[in-house]
Amino acid sequence: MKLKTIISSVLMLLLGQAAVADSATLFTCRSLPTADSALLIYGVPQENTDIIDLVIFVNGEIKATDQGILVDSYTRYVGQSFDINFVETAITAKARNPVLSVRQSESLICE
């Protein structure tokens, strides 16, 4: 296994653990109960910045991370790989990732 892959895996694991354990999670979203996939998404703010770390689990396993910001009066998350619209409660992929196809959307329940 390449060192870069190992480091990426460790970082994803740490981010996921921090999101679950940290009470500072800004938002949590999950797939609708009727959806085929079991997405669980945590938005964790970085200290002293506007950047949000996004951690995406599928069936309890970390599958992707992203970084972005909240825009439009905090109604949308805009990241490098994903966008989340909190008004329409949907996540959309905008870059290749292991969770959703590019331009594919999935409805969410967000808290």
Question: Any residues with CB less than 8 A from the CB of 25 and at least 6 apart, and which?
Answer: 19, 42, 43, 44
Alpha-carbon distance 31 to 89, whole Å?
10
Q: What pLDDT digit, counting tens, does each position of 44-54 carry?
A: 999 899 999 99
Angle among Cα 16, 49, 105 to the nearest 5 degrees reads: 55
For residues 24-61, one letter each, b for 16 or more C-beta atoms within 10 angstroms of the residue's C-beta and e for the rest, the string is ebbbbbbbeeeeeeebbbbbbbeeeeeebbbbbbbeee
Q: What is the pTM of this model?
A: 0.77
pLDDT of residue 23: 54
Q: What pLDDT digit, counting tens, does each position of 29-88 carry?
A: 999 887 667 899 999 999 899 999 999 999 889 999 999 999 998 899 999 999 999 999
